[in-house]
Amino acid sequence: MDHLKEVVKNRVLGNPVRLGIMLFLLPRGKVPFGDFIPVLNITPGNLDSHLRTLEREGYVTTKKMLLDRPRTVVKITDFGSVETRMYIRNLHKALDEV
């Protein structure tokens, strides 16, 4: 049941919205703020709040970038990618143990 303990311990990715954000970011590397909204079906305020949590915990960084217009771009960190992949692996193993 060690894997289950690891899954439960991770309060950052235990939230489905934050896990969704990380899974959307993982193959893409960086994503403009607005691109998350239709995919995750959440309000900008809610997204901003989850992104701030992820940024505080070191999973992502945010940066203003000039694309078609100035936009906030969210970038996954090495720490964030390792933690997300570990979380998925632990969840998978925990399910096997159930």
Smallest distance from the beta carbon of 5 to other proteins, in angstroms? 17
**With CB under 8 A as the contact rule, which of the stretches 5-13, 41-49, 66-74, 78-86 interacts with other proteins?**
78-86
Q: How far apart are CA 68 and CA 89, in angstroms?
A: 37
Q: How far apart are CA 5 and CA 64, in angstroms?
A: 37
Q: Does 92 contact other proteins by CB under 8 A?
A: yes
Q: Does 31 contact other proteins by CB under 8 A?
A: no
Q: In what order do the strands lie in the sheet with 30-32?
A: 30-32, 70-76, 60-66
Q: Does 73 contact other proteins by CB under 8 A?
A: no
